[in-house]
Structure 1
């Protein structure tokens, strides 16, 4: 604000939103039981008028700093970018600032950043990762602020972890391929030590079993998350079972490799073989030949959910355990419609 500008008051915000001053105060300070539409109307009025609350006064009155620590395993990872965007969207809507710290999967760096965030009196901490496997909790003793793990699972069942629903994602892939008339399935995926690999296969197999279709181990290939493994594994599967008419891949890199091998072997996708990937990595999925149908974990939505759960914990609610955020299927050409016979 320049010297010549007058500060907007909460009275003006209340008048613009058509509510009382006390209701405007509750909405802006995230207190009280208000309807979502009322709270959103107050925030919209505050934005239109350029209202800037006195953060110091607000924090002294409510004993909150209105800041949150975001402790990332790898902040530049392609999975963390949409996740962090969702977190910041939801926290920003609540007028909460974010301190981003990149632990780089180093326990010493993580401890240093934890101490730094606590010294800044953050209201809570979100821990993000790049795997859904269990990891040690941030500390061996209870922390003075709530913590939520997002796309990262704490080994302590008393913590709250928000994860993509990988089993449901596997089910989506199976249901799409079944609806296209496929009957002989194969699966190319990553290393079995990843929880996501096991969960996606569990969901995929369960949906097939409900349709009376089996997926024997002989038609499952596990290996590195790399395109070249997708090519080699698909070649092995076709040599052993040339009648395969559907391939579900554990990520989009593997699916791109599978598409290469199918094309080189003379199989038409999707006319002869349907292919579904996982992650919906736009640059890969959209540029594939043909464009790749892929399961999307909705990481931005997952980040928003984790932020809302953290704000709820900060407000005094209690929650622990696992929360699974549903995946969705981005349908393109590779999965096909009814199979051509």
Structure 2
């Protein structure tokens, strides 16, 4: 199948009925928008059939639907967002509301969310509400005025809700990495599974004297990770709670060494804590990972890569949480059957030099 345009031409190849088909695609000297009628003409179908094929509606053979989509891809056809919104009675936007002003957790979630929605032509509007209920309500009203099709709510910790009641919001809401009502669709990282990954890895390296240095006990994430650590290391393994900071990691080593405890494996509740631990051990002439293996939590690349040696750490998969939030909110918008309740997504271990050993085999 080939077609010709009164313009400069390029060739693209698509697969059609198991064969490679060369198609000549329009390239003007100035940018020219490919219209639906161009796709229809090239695919030798009506405009109505082309529209239905691209929208996944209407009755036609699968061969026709595939041919239209192949031609649209080859031409670089992009549906007009306003026309799509009018025809579907949707705004093709999703709102993201957060109180994570630094973006430490929200930006990876937003990246995953955007990646999940962009192929459907859906844009993401983000608002940072911090902890001000008046500002939060104002931002929400603005999003509702813009007729967003759904909302994703995220934050800076899993046990604190945003200062906003969304119970009466007339559009679908998905919570990601923040506290959520019991009957809501919500997503978090599986902190317990991630902590077990780290502790099992240290044990598998032959480290028998393990300690856990983590954040404040009032944080649910810190409590969950500490409990999982003790499930593997034993109830007598030391757990030290403090700030989520390098300074606390540094101070914790002083406390452990001052008490005569000399662990040969330390699981840290965050990468910042782990970096402070590594620095304090270096100051004492303790080799990492020769004498002590270190594992962090977060896979915050700017910290993990800058630690010397680079930090083995647990990745919470925040981008994956964002992608799953996008999938779920899209399904809710489209009227899909999505069961309410929490979903815990698995973490993964990223092995670098701070613990010794080799990365686990893929598969």
TM-score in same-fold range (> 0.5): yes
SS across alignment from 1:203: helix
1:319 aligns with: 339
Task: State the shift of 1:225 in Å.
Answer: 0.8
Which of 310, 316, 320 aligns to 2:329? It is 310
1:35 aligns with: none
Distance 1:205 1:19 in 2: 65
Query: What does 1:178-193 correspond to in 2, within 5 Å?
Result: 178-193=203-218
For the pair shown, the structure with the greater C-alpha radius of gyration is 2
Would the aligned equivalents of 2:256 and 2:262 in 1 still touch at CA under 8 Å?
A: no
The worse-fitting range, judged by mean Cα deviation, of 116-125 and 100-109 is 100-109
Which of 303, 306, 315 aligns to 1:284? It is 303
> TM (normalized to structure 1)?
0.85
Would the aligned equivalents of 2:304 and 2:310 in 1 still touch at CA under 8 Å?
A: yes
Is the helix fraction higher in 1 or 2?
1
The structure showing larger relative contact order (alpha-carbon pairs under 8 Å, at least 6 residues apart) is 1
1:240 aligns with: 259
Q: Deviations over 1:26-49 (max 9, x none)?
A: 6754669xxxxx999977864552
Distance 2:100 2:42 in 1: 43
Compared CA separation, residues 19 and 147, structure 1 to 2 (3 A): farther
Q: Deviations over 1:135-163 (max 9, x none)?
A: 15842643210011111121x11111111
Q: Unmatched 5+ residue regions in structure 2? A: 1-27, 59-63, 359-363
Compared CA separation, residues 146 and 40, structure 1 to 2 (3 A): farther
Distance 2:100 2:200 in 1: 33
Query: What does 1:125-274 correspond to in 2, within 5 Å?
Result: 125-135=151-161, 138-139=164-165, 141-154=167-180, 156-206=181-231, 208=232, 213-216=233-236, 219-274=238-293
Compared CA separation, residues 233 and 40, structure 1 to 2 (3 A): farther
SS across alignment from 1:135: coil
TM-align CA RMSD: 3.2
1:87 aligns with: 113
Distance 1:232 1:185 in 2: 17
> TM (normalized to structure 2)?
0.80
Task: State the shift of 1:10 in Å.
Answer: 3.6
Q: Unmatched 5+ residue regions in structure 1? A: 33-37
Distance 2:57 2:144 in 1: 24
**How many matched pairs?**
326
Task: State the shift of 1:330 in Å.
Answer: 1.0
